[in-house]
Structure 1
Amino acid sequence: MPKLATIRSPYWLLFRAGPGRSASGDRLMKFSHLLLATTALFGAAAAAQAQTVTTDEGTTLEAVVVTGSRFSGTLTTFPGSSTVLNEVQLEKQLATTNDIGSVLASTIPGMAAANGTAANVEQSLRGRPLRVFIDGVPVSNPLRDGGRDLRLISPNAITGIEVIRGASAIYGQGGAGGVINYVTRKGKADDDWKFRTELGTGFSTQHFGGSGSPSISQSATGAVKGFDVTLNGSYEHVGGQFDADGDRLAPDPHNFGGISDSDIWNVFGKVGYNFGGQRVEAMGNFYRQHQDTDYISKAGNIAQGIKETAVKGSYDPRALDPVNRNVMGYLGYYNDDLLSSAFHAQAYYLKNYSVFSFDPARLGGTQTTISSEKIGLQSDFRTPLEKLGWSAGGELLWGADISRDTTQQPLIPLTNNPGDGRTFTPPLEQMNYAAFAQLEMPLTERLTLRAGVRHDQFVLKIDNFVAGLTGVHVNGGELKYQATPVNIGGTFQIVEQAQLFGGFSQGFSIPDIGSPLRRVAVTNLDNFDPKPQLVNNYELGLRGKVLGVRYTGAYFINTAKFGTDFVIDTVNPSEAQTLREKEKVHGWEVVLDGRLTPKTRWSANYSHTEGKRDATHDGTLDTPLTGRRIGPDQFNLALEHDITANWLVRLQYNHSGTRNKFPGSAVGNYYTGRVRSTERLDALTQFKVNNVDFSVGVNNLLNEDYYSITSQMINRNELYSKAEGRTVYLKLGVNY
């Protein structure tokens, strides 16, 4: 029976800490603090009982199942780079943060650093946009990307995350950088109901008052007359965020949407029924984040080293509170044997509504909202090749998808704007029809081939509208486009402990349609060409195990004839302008993990990504891609020790490198700022007594004082924000 939540992962302790900066004398002092913390933690461990925590981690490579790929299989036959985080690993990561974006930045090589806000606008994967799924349902918004994909469901409803890095033909449009699939909770069809109550809080050690972030989560799983049922409800209040000096951060530090002073609600439910080799499953989730703050931003000054801060006040009493609301659900059907194949069909619905922060500089003071509604049906068959006469094994995955996406972003005039009917994104309606096939075929005992193709047809309808930034009246119309991405790759088992993998894959996406429409200067859509983006991805890697150390190394190149980057809009300086030019991105990743002793584990990873575009349109890649696409190198190191069978401690270190590709760039030029190297250390301890578990996590243990990577890249005085200082998280869980 197909299982959406089947995850078995190797132990990859790839933890993000965060950045930090200090003078050499400060570094020596902080190193002594680190040494003292390590000695205390592991000295206690040496005096404790010699027992080992039992977890699901450390499974073999062959046991890893990648379900988010639409092709349930093991890493031994997957010709690319993938990471699977199971529930145990997620619990550890979420002990020092409540932000999934930060978890992904800590554990996924090639993932750009998180910014700790409500948005993941600049959080690229291998230098390109990512596409997010929840239980296989596409939740990203390709027509108007508001950067909310990673915050559409509570972490309390998730038991695993699957990530495939690199463009992929089989998922349809979007995800040129990779695919992320959240796997939600799932019950078992037994009569015993199980409950879990979890209480938590977080606070800044530098400014306790106003920083409290209490949370509560309640879960229940069980069975009702043969139906397996899973329920979860959670609430979190995020208090003020404070830097290492104890100064309050702006409620929206990067102008993408903030998370401080917010209330977050999530209600999740799933029910399923198994019968005769078949299964019917339904899931629903409601998520709402509402920011209600009494503070506004006070601009900093990059040249003078003055940081952006928060002060009491409001921009406009008529402004709406920022909101991010998401409702989604699906009905799935599984059949183990239909047409000699395993069959899966899924009908889904998704509705998202986001209110963005008031912008006093745009058109005299305005605010926007994004409203998006999606409905779709996706189906696939998995046919064993032996049914088709191939005796060596393998599978053929084939199927079809259909979806409708309606999106709009109206412009709300609040102050001096005359309210002339302008819109940031007019009402858009896109129909998508697709068919695909993917083959996995073992050619020899050592060599496995994978190849596939997908064909997409799109019909985009646009109503008449007035462009938001130009005021031009544009006649609507209909645009049609199509794409046929392909992929081919394979794995070769060199020896038992070394496997070569690699291949060629393509990804297809329409660039954020809403962004160019706001500044369009033509009156007829016949003169508007969005130029679909086809990304070619090449990858070669080696993975295996030697002397007890698991390793993965990969080098990749991805190219696009019509790539997408962002620069400042000289007419509207508060806006970023979209560029469509030839570009190339390349990089490499190394992942290692092993054991120092039976009770002590370590892991490390390093990722490097860089890219250029053809700014002069002469065929030469002569200009670096901006910080919106390319972040600095990332190095993560973690050390974990089991004190007893029910008590562990862990330290996590992150070093973020430098990037200075635009020396001399004037302040105000979007995403051309110099990024200085930073570092940060996190720590946590978890222990369990009978049915009660408790964790203490410390984010930025040494209280490093630094400007956030995002604010350094953005390069604007009004967005020059520090990152959070030392923050403590306490969590108590009871199972009954």
Structure 2
Amino acid sequence: MKSRIWASYLALLVMGQVPILQVKAEEIAKTGEEKEEDEGVLIITGSRVEESIDEVPASISVIKREQILSQIRVSSEVQNILANTVPGMAPGSGSSSNSTVTLRGRNALVMIDGVPQSTPLRNGALGMRTIDPEVLERVEVVKGATSVYGNGAAGGIINYRTKLPEKNKPLEAEVTLSSKFSTDDFDGSAGLRFNSLLSGTSDKFDFVLSATKEELGRQKDANGEILGTKYGLSDSESENYFIKSSYFLDDERSLQLTYNYYSAQQNADLVDVVSSINSDQPTYAVPLENGLSHVGAAQGPRGNTNLMVKYEDTDIWNNSSLTADWYQQTIENVFFYSPTLSNPAQGYSGGQSMIKSEKSGVRVLITSEPDWEDLDTTFIYGIDALNDITSQPLLDGRMWVPEMDMNNLAGFLQTKFVFDNNWIIKAGIRQEKIDLSVDDYATLRLCRDANTCSEPVNVTGGELNYRATTYNLGLRYNYAESFSPFFSYSQGADISDLGRLLRTATVEDINLIHTEASIIDHYELGFTSYFSDTRVEFAAYRSNSELGTTNKYDPATGIYLPIRAPQKIWGYELAVNHSLSDSLALTSSYSWVEGKNTSNDEYLGARQISPPKFTTQLNWQINDKSHLDLTYLFISDRKRFEKSNDEWVGDQGPVSSYSIVNLGGHIQFSKIKLFAGIENLFNKDYYPAKSQSYAYAGYNVKGLGRTMNLGVQYLF
């Protein structure tokens, strides 16, 4: 199949129940996207449609730049930042993979400024590490299946919003240098991180330029052992180059160009001493002996490139605005070398795969606010088109997942009605048209050992067509500040991880593979309450789908085969923000989620369901020049399964509780800022939840031991 990227599309970015920022107005940096509200509170959507926080019938999380920067002082891994700050987000895996890092038990669609970064056609669970957090203005997290986003958003969306220049500052710059190392076994653990940032504004033009480079040393557990290299971070190098520039044609019209390049690869001279949860020993790494070299190529993203051109007109006609953009994204994500990808008959002792994805699209969004008497009304409508070409070849030339060429065209309408300033109704519809073509291909013969091999199948390709209409409805009643209840219902259409189905095909025609799209119905009921210096938010939810994508091990072939069984997932979240004083704030949250395969009433494994999570953060603004942050993360037990033949299997290992404390802070001296962070302050010896639950060999890697990060920043 001839690879092609085309851009004759029209598209929507997103509306309705979309990312929202909720902060006190006095805390907001005044940028072109933010303005004070009379109520003292505002929220911001990913589509630049601003609305008051009391008009949102959903629970949505946003991590502000101040929070991101404070977390970077401890760890630059986005997984860790999200786990510590977002209720409903599963705990981090402690590795480069975001496998098990679900949102309310389902996979989330990761985006940069609305541009998809995930590869849902072959979900390799690597989409969260696609940009360096240094260039983020905020992260917006929409929870639950949403009918206003396309394929891959079964659990919601994670939208990385990139940095904007400060208004009324013609030119500013900063340079940051830091080093991260183990406090208990320094040898070989020290790394180096460098970031430079330059931005400026004028009447007609603004820009942001950033360059980041980070080299990590050997990552070590609480006992000084080097962590295993499967999805590892030891001796990895990452680079991020970012450009954003806007030109204002007049007061209503503007053009914006955004470019981002990110790579992060591990090429360590280490070898794993492999174990599993069925033994008493962790998987750890040791240095290679002299004269030996690492097997395989460096793992991680070789280069994630994003390019976007955006046009905005805030007055295309009466009370209407237009946003239109074209984008292109390419990525090559390389996995670790695996002996299970062997085929001795053809001379292959193992293999290394790579997910290749190329996306291109154009989105058009129109927002209209008709002037109707006694009724505050908003109509948001547009169309979205996307071409996504994804495959998973092996680096030795074999093709594991054939090239999938998807054309996705969708249109939608989202409405909002406000009655008597207290009743808010939102309703929307999205029509999805997906056409996906695959050439004839053959599945691979793969051998787990000399006697356990899969049998290759020649599969006749063709075209798969999906049509779906999804709906959403939300209601909020602002009864009083102390009690504002809301309800929402939203659907999502999902054909995630089609590549896994294709590569394990046991039939000779693509039309005989169970590739049906899954429709997810997501229900949410909750409330928000304000009591003086305290804000409380509670939400309970349920998510149903007719088809799932769990896996079951086939001992005859050594392959994990997908199971397309109906699923139900349910849970609740509680978040409390409390100002202890003008300088001291406390934020706490608790998340609980559970799920079952409803066809046989079996609990879902750790690939989807995370154990209960409690987080609390204490933020102390000591004075105008110094700040301190203390973060506590507690992961509770989840033990739902029994052993099979006296062994744990798949993702069904028992998770025992553990807790982690992080500390970070800074002090400012004129133009120099000194900062420090400590991850795992008390040097807890533990296994992350993923390491406890995954029975696959090589995954039982311990968590990072106490690690110090020291740095200095100079402001020009």
Aligned to 2:297: 320
Equivalent residues of 2:277, 2:653 under 8 A apart: no
C-alpha contact (below 8 Å) 1:196/1:735 kept by paired residues: yes
**2-structure distance, mates of 1:405, 1:284:** 19
Q: Distance in 2 between matches of 1:6 and 1:190?
A: 27
State the partner residue of 2:274: 299
Aligned position for 1:175: 153
Is the Cα–Cα contact under 8 Å of residues 563 and 582 in structure 1 kept in the other structure? yes
SS of 1:712's partner is: helix
> What 5-or-longer segments of structure 1 have no aligned partner?
12-52, 414-420, 617-621
After TM superposition, give the deviation of residue 72 of structure 1 in Å: 3.6
Secondary structure class of the residue paired with 2:66: helix
1:603 pairs, out of 570, 584, 587, with 587
Aligned residues, how many? 675
- 1:240-319 mapped onto 2 (5 Å cutoff): 240-252=218-230, 257-276=231-250, 277-313=252-288, 319=296
Q: Which residue of 2 is the match for residue 10 of structure 1?
A: 23
Counterpart code for 2:430: R
TM-superposition CA deviations, 1:42-61 (whole Å, max 9, x none): xxxxxxxxxxx98869x998
Which structure 2 residues correspond to residues 10-159 of structure 1 after superposition, within 5 A? Answer: 10=23, 63-68=41-46, 71-159=49-137
Read off the aligned partner of 1:690 and give its amino acid letter.
S
CA contact (8 A) 1:8 1:63 kept: no
Establish whether residue 614 from structure 1 lines up as the match of residue 614 from structure 2.
Answer: no
Which residue identity does 2:197 align to in structure 1?
A: S
What's the CA shift for 1:9? 3.4
Aligned to 2:176: 198
CA contact (8 A) 2:239 2:263 kept: yes
Task: Please tell me whether the aligned partners of residues 566 and 626 of structure 1 are also in contact (alpha carbons under 8 angstroms).
Answer: no
Specify the SS of the correspondent of 1:609. Answer: strand
Tell me the distance in 2 between the aligned counterparts of 1:569 and 1:714. 17
Percent of aligned pairs with the same residue?
Answer: 28
Structure 2: distance between partners of 1:643 and 1:317: 48
Matches within 5 A, 1:367-378: 367-378=352-363
Distance (Å, rounded) in 2 between the aligned partners of 1:183 and 1:467:
39
Following superposition of structure 1 onto structure 2, how do residues 249-648 of structure 1 map, counting pairs within 5 Å? 249-252=227-230, 257-276=231-250, 277-313=252-288, 319-324=296-301, 325-340=303-318, 341-363=320-342, 364-386=349-371, 389=372, 391-413=374-396, 422-469=398-445, 470-573=455-558, 575-616=559-600, 622-648=601-627
Secondary structure, counterpart of 1:229 in structure 2: strand
* Alpha-carbon spacing, 1:316–1:646, altered in 2? closer, same or farther (3 Å): closer
Please say which of residues 644-653 and 109-118 is displaced more in the overlay: 644-653
Offset, 1:719: 2.0
Contact 1:197–1:216 (CA under 8 A) maintained in structure 2: yes
Deviations 1:174-217 (A, max 9, x none): 21111111111122576721111011111111211111121000
| Alpha-carbon distance between aligned partners in 2 of 1:120 and 1:595, rounded to the nearest angstrom | 33
Cα gap change, 1:303 to 1:138, in 2 (>3 Å): closer
- Farther off after superposition, 653-662 or 664-673: 664-673
CA-CA distance at 1:515 after TM superposition: 0.6
**Counterpart code for 1:267:** Y
Structure 2 counterpart of 1:114, which letter? Answer: G
In structure 2, the residue corresponding to 1:169 is in which secondary structure? coil
Cα offset, 1:316, TM superposition:
8.0
Q: How far 1:302 sits from its partner (Å)? A: 3.3
Segment of structure 1 superposing worse, 112-121 or 351-360: 112-121
SS at structure 1 position matched to 2:650: coil
Tell me the secondary structure at the aligned position of residue 494 of structure 1.
coil
CA gap of 1:338–1:570, structure 2 versus 1, over 3 A, is: farther
Q: Is the contact between residue 352 and residue 373 of structure 1 (CA under 8 Å) also seen in structure 2?
A: yes
Moved more, 716-725 or 312-321: 312-321
Offset, 1:361:
2.5
Q: Structure 1 pair 321/8, CA: closer, same or farther in 2 (3 Å)?
A: closer
**Residue 8 (structure 2) aligns with:** none
- 3-state secondary structure, aligned to 1:723: coil
In 2, are the aligned partners of 1:648 and 1:686 still within 8 Å (CA)? yes
Residue 496 of structure 1, CA deviation: 2.8
| 1:453-483 Cα distance to aligned partner (Å, 9 max, x none) | 0001011010111112541111211111111
Measured at CA, do residues 474 and 8 of structure 1 come closer, stay the same or move farther in structure 2, by a change above 3 Å? closer
Distance 1:54 1:519, change over 3 A: closer
Q: Give the match for residue 732 of structure 1.
A: 712
CA change 1:6–1:710 in 2 (3 A) is closer
What SS is found at the alignment partner of 2:127?
coil
Q: Which runs of 5+ in 2 are unaligned?
A: 1-12, 31-35, 343-348, 446-454
Which residue type is aligned with residue 649 of structure 1? L
Q: Do the aligned partners of 1:511 and 1:530 also contact (CA within 8 Å) in 2?
A: no
> CA separation in 1, counterparts of 2:279 and 2:462?
50
Question: Does 1:721 find its partner at 2:701?
Answer: yes
The one-letter code matched in structure 1 to 2:476 is T
1:731–1:572 CA distance, 2 compared to 1 (3 A): farther
1:692-728 deviation line (CA, Å, top 9, x unaligned): 2221111110001011211111023432211111011
Letter in 2 for 1:376: G
**Paired residues of 2:332 and 2:355 also in contact (CA < 8 A):** yes
1:650 aligns with 2:663: no
Q: Report the CA distance between 1:64 and its aligned residue.
A: 3.1
Instruction: Compute the displacement of 1:603 (Å).
Output: 1.5
| C-alpha contact (below 8 Å) 1:201/1:730 kept by paired residues | yes
Per-residue deviation, 1:684: 1.6
Structure 1 SS opposite 2:579 = strand
Shift of 1:555: 0.4
The change in CA–CA distance for 1:3 and 1:610 in structure 2 (over 3 A counts) is closer
Question: What CA distance in whole angstroms lies between the structure 2 residues aligned with 1:488 and 1:735?
Answer: 47
Q: What displacement does 1:411 show?
A: 2.5
Residue aligned with 2:547, SS: strand
| Other structure's SS at 1:171 match | coil
Runs of 4+ in structure 1 displaced over 4 angstroms? 2-8, 53-57, 59-62, 188-191, 314-318
Instruction: Give the secondary structure class of the aligned counterpart of 1:604.
Output: strand
C-alpha contact (below 8 Å) 1:424/1:515 kept by paired residues: no
Report how far residue 91 of structure 1 moved.
1.0
Q: 1:355 to 1:684 in 2, by over 3 A?
A: same
Give the Cα–Cα distance (whole angstroms) in 2 for the partners of residues 231 and 113 of structure 1: 32
Supply the distance in 2 between the matched residues of 1:681 and 1:56 (Cα, whole angstroms).
29
1:164 aligned partner, one-letter code: V
8 Å Cα contact 1:411-1:468 kept in structure 2: no
Residue aligning to 1:663: 642
Q: CA deviation at 1:236?
A: 0.1
Amino acid of the structure 1 residue aligned with 2:546: K
What is the aligned-residue RMSD (CA, Å)?
Answer: 2.5
What are the superposed Cα offsets for residues 87-116 of structure 1, whole Å, 9 maximum, x if unpaired? 111111221111011111111111111112
SS in 1 for 2:376: coil
